[in-house]
Chains A and B, each alone.
Chain A
Amino acid sequence: MSVQEAKRIQHEAEVREDLTPHAGRWVALRDGHVVASGDELTELRANPEVQDDDVLVRVPRAPGGYFF
């Protein structure tokens, strides 16, 4: 257990590129950058480019604006 390590992992998840081209799709992020994408989450998880500690997120169809 390491507070510093936990903090580093959270910090490095900051999205560092424009995800607009991936709107409506699932992406795997590593150090805030897209390493793979797919239409389905299960498809993305099965992608050999994706590692267990990548963060998988769905890019909103309408990025930006407020979250209610």
Chain B
Amino acid sequence: MPQVPLAPFALTLAYRRGADGGARPYLILDVQGPAGATRVDGVVDSGADISSLPYEYAAALGYQPADLEESTGTQASGTITYHRAAAPLVAWLPAAQMWAFALHPSFVEGAEMALWGRADFFRAWHVSISEPSQQFRIVRQ
């Protein structure tokens, strides 16, 4: 039986204030790990090669130390230590679970904010950001 293609899903959102009071292109995703799902607020970040979450999410999502590979990366201020999960998370926009996608998280020591990066989020979603209008648009098709 042929599958009926999904209609494109598009959402335009205003920047909103996060935990530090700054307005940015924040986006909530529901992420499903080995221990269950949790709701994560992150910044849509075209400058991030990969998506990352504060290290504490690794345990909360059910990853064991053996599930993670320690590595080093580079951020604007220097070198960081991160832990890359071999098994991806499943992530989706709340109320749009049919558009779920694989998120390959890296858990970063000392990080205080989740970043949705290019290797997974931007591959799944078309993203445009308008700084003058303080809005961003994501489209899945």
Contact = CB atoms under 8 A, between A and B. Distances in A.
Chain B: interface size category: 35 or more
Interface in B36-54: 37-41, 43, 54
B28 to A, nearest CB: 5
Given A6-B96, A9-B95, A68-B77, A19 B19 contact: yes
**Highest count of chain B CB atoms <10 Å: which of A10, A14, A40, A68:** A10
Interface string B39-76: 11101000000000010110110000000000000001
B39 A2 contact: no
A57 interface: yes
B138 to A, nearest CB: 10
Main secondary structure of the interface of A (DSSP, over half): loop
A52 B76 CA distance: 34
A57 B41 contact: yes
Contacts of B96: 1, 6
Interface residues of A, number: 36
**Highest count of chain A CB atoms <10 Å: which of B37, B39, B54, B93:** B39
A9 B97 CA distance: 13
Contacts of B13: 7, 10-11
A42 B33 CA distance: 14
B113 interface: yes
B20 interface: yes
B24 interface: yes
7 contacts: A1-B98, A3-B10, A55-B40, A59-B112, A64-B20, A67-B22, A67-B113
Interface of A: 1-3, 5-7, 9-11, 13-15, 18-19, 26-27, 40-42, 45, 52-61, 63-68
